[in-house]
Structure 1
Amino acid sequence: MNIDEYASLDATALAAVIASGEVTADEVAEVAIEAIGKADQELNAVADGPFERPLGYSRDGRFAGVPFAIKDLVLHAAGVPTRMGTRLLGKGVVPPADTHLMERFRAAGLATLAVTTTPELGFNGNSEALAYGSTRNPWNTAHSAGGSSGGSAALVAAGALPIAHANDGGGSIRVPAACNGLVGLKPTRGRVPAGPDFADPLYGMGVELAVSRTVRDTAALLDEVAVSYPGDPYVLAPPARPWLDEVGADPGRLRIAVHTEAWSGSYVDPEVARAVEAVAQVLEAAGHHVERATPVFEWESFLHANHVLWCGFLAGAVAGIEEMTGVAASPENLERTSWACVEYGRSISAMDLTAALGAVNVVSREAGRFFTEYDLLLTPTMNTPALPLGRLDANADLAAADWTRHLFDACSFTPLFNQTGAPAISLPLGQSSQGLPIGVQLGGPVCSESLLLRVAAYLEEAMPWADRRPAVHVSEARQVLR
């Protein structure tokens, strides 16, 4: 297998080629190591690796031998240093055991070859941590790869990997998916295990999965990792049938709401709004009832609740790092906005936290009401296409509240689904006049992954993106997924 053949296959197709005996998993790993190195020279997307050989994995898994990478945040693998994007951890700490999701990735057969970049402690919509330097967008290296799963997304978009780990506390799967022209599903809260280190990360707003190039890969991976472990705070009912079976299934006639104005009142690029409108027209032509509608909630209360929860969680995470390493956090080892948010987080009282959780409940109840009237909500994923590098500068001299507002003004549409715990998916259904991908988001009620995947698969066929290839790509061949 050469690098062109490797980069032309999604994870499902690559697993089938390996299983057929046409190529061995070891041969695929050799090509993947070359591809990761080639892409990383242009993109700076690798925090550690590529490794000389993959981490151990099941040879009987669905994705046996498929190259993979893990993001340097929340999830960790035994014996692999983690830095979480922060200089506070120096060269990293070495966890003695896998997290539960890492166990599931190994059981699925995924062959982990690298750790990917993230912003400091995940609190940014780009991946430009001082600990690593800026991760660049393969479509235009003057632009951000998004965050906080930007390293994973850049490598997948560039053809270096077919799929990679990502997680999402305010849009960190969907935002980099939008920036890089990928599929990014944020599952329902509790659908994918976050233990044993966490029960519900970020007060329930943080979830785990991946970024991929195809809907079928996302669905198949969800089938492999959506399990509960003893002690998990949530045990969700399994789907009526495998999520992969939803790919190609008839979604029925749906009630779809469309909303293109930011709840924050911040700017939305007209090209982004037009991309959403184009998708709405395709869905309406397919027989769905489509109309303009939105959940109604008070943005300032919503934003403040996010600010309290994010900063409180960040302060707790930093306290844990301090206890683990014996190193005190300070402006010398944290970026300026991180330090400002940690200081604010340390000041939060129990009453502040209670009020923030109360505000989350208000928004969740309104979203729940809304989804009794509509099956899906169609919005932009981001307010604009991928921002220029440096536009979301976590080392800027900003107060904690100003940083949160700055960040949420750029990513206004994704956080609603983190607060409510409901699933949402970003699909690469548009492209700007400058050639940057435009992500379109579909969200639904809690536990509606099956419906989202059905509609996503329909749109993948109706508005295909497989032939698009960024300027930085490991292959010169046209991408065709078998």
Structure 2
Amino acid sequence: MPRVHAFRDDALADHDAVGLVDVLRSGAVGTEEVVAAAIARTEAVDPRLGAVAHRAHDRARAEARDPRGGFFAGVPTFVKDNVDVAGMPTQHGADAFRARPARRDGDLARMYLATGLLPLGKSRLSEFGFSPAAEHPRQGPVRNPWSTDHTAGASSAGSAALVAAGAVPLAHANDGGGSIRIPAAACGLVGLKPTRGRLAQDAMHRSMPLRIVADGVVTRSVRDTAAFLREAERVYRALHLPPVGDVTRPGRRRLRVGVVTAAAGRTADPEVAALTRRTADLLAGLGHHVEEVAAPAPPTFADDFLLYWSVLASAIVRTGRLTHGRSWDVERCDPLTRGLDRLARRNLHRVPGALRRLRRAAALGAAFHERHDVVLSPTLATTTPLVGHLDPTAGYEQAMERILTWVAFTPWQNVTGEPAVSLPLATTAEGLPQGMMLGAGAGREPLLLELALELEEAAPFARITAPTGS
């Protein structure tokens, strides 16, 4: 398989973000040297990955000369191109308008960059984040570093591809139906969707009728994700949730783990189901109590979530000119976005009932986690598809059927507001990463991080630099 990565003997070496902080503080390397290496790596891999939406390299070089403070001071990163960063356009992966540079940082970027992270630019996503594969008719697809024939997942595709390829150790992602966890699963990364309200959010996401979007990061190590949540919490503290704190080692308590291989009317394919049960065996071998259970989602969940998803698309389509100005042209939206708009307009009478049922999901999730500390499922129901399989220009009906087949497990936690993490614990027969997902009750990120650290120690994650077939 055609792999792409930029790991080499430079200032970044193979450090994760926490390791890079250590070498920066030691003085072994300087921030300018690190940023120069990250820019060089990005330019080396991006022609084959198509992951960068906007370059801000001159700004990054200038900031490297006098980096802002924070734990991650001087660590290079990318910000997903659906949040505002001052001086950079926010294009949302779309051709339907021409974005101007943002006048100020949004609430998420303000919190994110206050940790010291230094942005090299913006990363690509699918149009408005609606598709789980970032395939653009003009810019082309975002490709998977593990195999450029395959999708990198979405919507946080660009961030995941750049982290997996070694351009930066950590990048911003957000998740409204799985968009942190899906590309993490496809690209062999750690991707944790936090509890609803855990991190600061931009007004667009806070104003949703049902807040399904959560921001976070994709990383190559569990400790990087844990460190990011710790540092973000020092900037923005969600007072309605127990603190995450400083999680640095596995937990001692043995957990009740429910294993799910079917959800939202779909069943994981045989290979993915077998890999999930192998992960369950690993957990049992570590002393956890493991049993197969039924998913907590009711039979109406998939249809209700799709209808709500379509309402969000329709809101963008119908308010595009007001939001994005006179350059807005709805005909330049892709067929998936316009198909979702049509679905919403045909079914407006069903929206209130769907919202009522979706809002009950939090109680169902809480009841499930009274019986099971953690739920284990595959992150995605099938192995990672080839580029083109989820092409949004192929037509709404084909694209949506293929999306629903692949993305059956992740939307539940977006609706309940609970945290969930995808870990690169499995490898397919084809040699690609296959993420395994762990979910817990609201506010239980520390529990997930402790378990993730234990699993990472017991079954070290595959490395993209390893020889093919190893």
| TM-score > 0.5 by shorter chain | yes
Structure 1 match to 2:451: 455
CA contact (8 A) 1:309 1:356 kept: yes
CA RMSD across the alignment: 2.3
Equivalent of 1:84 in 92, 95, 98: 92
- Quick one: structure 1 residues 163 and 365, their matched pair in 2 at CA, closer, same or farther if it must change by over 3 Å? same
Partners of 2:447 and 2:138 in 1: how far apart? 40
Range moving further from structure 2, 453-462 or 57-66: 57-66
- Quick one: structure 1 residues 204 and 187, their matched pair in 2 at CA, closer, same or farther if it must change by over 3 Å? same
Equivalent of 1:445 in 441, 445, 449: 441
1:258 partner amino acid:
V
Structural mapping, 1:249-328, within 5 Å: 249-266=250-267, 268-299=268-299, 301-323=300-322, 324-328=324-328
Fraction of identical pairs, as percent: 36
> 2:147 matched to 1:143?
no
Q: Which blocks of at least 5 consecutive residues in structure 2 are unaligned?
A: 1-6
TM-score normalised by L of structure 1: 0.89
Write out per-residue CA displacement over residues 232-283 of structure 1, whole angstroms, 9 at most, x where no aligned residue: xx743341x61xx3231424011001112344234x2322222211221121
CA contact (8 A) 1:7 1:161 kept: no
Aligned residues: 458
> 2:23 matched to 1:24?
no
Structure 2 match to 1:4: 9
CA contact (8 A) 2:262 2:294 kept: no
> 2:125 matched to 1:126?
no
CA contact (8 A) 1:295 1:366 kept: no
SS at match of 2:192: strand
Partners of 1:130 and 1:15 in 2: how far apart? 39
SS at match of 1:95: coil
Partners of 2:235 and 2:416 in 1: how far apart? 20
Partners of 2:280 and 2:127 in 1: how far apart? 36
CA contact (8 A) 1:189 1:204 kept: yes
Partners of 2:146 and 2:202 in 1: how far apart? 35
Structure 1 match to 2:44: 38
CA contact (8 A) 1:76 1:82 kept: yes
CA contact (8 A) 1:85 1:131 kept: no
Structure 2 match to 1:475: none
1:314 partner amino acid:
A
Structural mapping, 1:154-169, within 5 Å: 154-169=161-176
Partners of 2:179 and 2:141 in 1: how far apart? 16
Range moving further from structure 2, 149-158 or 196-205: 196-205
Partners of 1:305 and 1:429 in 2: how far apart? 31
CA contact (8 A) 1:3 1:31 kept: no
2:320 partner amino acid:
I
Partners of 2:208 and 2:220 in 1: how far apart? 26
Range moving further from structure 2, 97-106 or 371-380: 97-106
Structure 2 match to 1:236: 240
> 2:79 matched to 1:70?
yes
2:33 partner amino acid:
E
Range moving further from structure 2, 254-263 or 370-379: 254-263
1:79 partner amino acid:
G
Write out per-residue CA displacement over residues 423-469 of structure 1, whole angstroms, 9 at most, x where no aligned residue: 00000001111110010000011111010000000000000016443
- Quick one: structure 1 residues 140 and 229, their matched pair in 2 at CA, closer, same or farther if it must change by over 3 Å? closer
CA contact (8 A) 1:7 1:162 kept: no
Partners of 1:327 and 1:33 in 2: how far apart? 32
TM-score normalised by L of structure 2: 0.91
CA contact (8 A) 1:138 1:157 kept: yes
- Quick one: structure 1 residues 227 and 361, their matched pair in 2 at CA, closer, same or farther if it must change by over 3 Å? farther
CA contact (8 A) 2:81 2:125 kept: yes
Structure 1 match to 2:4: none
Structure 1 match to 2:429: 433
- Quick one: structure 1 residues 313 and 228, their matched pair in 2 at CA, closer, same or farther if it must change by over 3 Å? farther
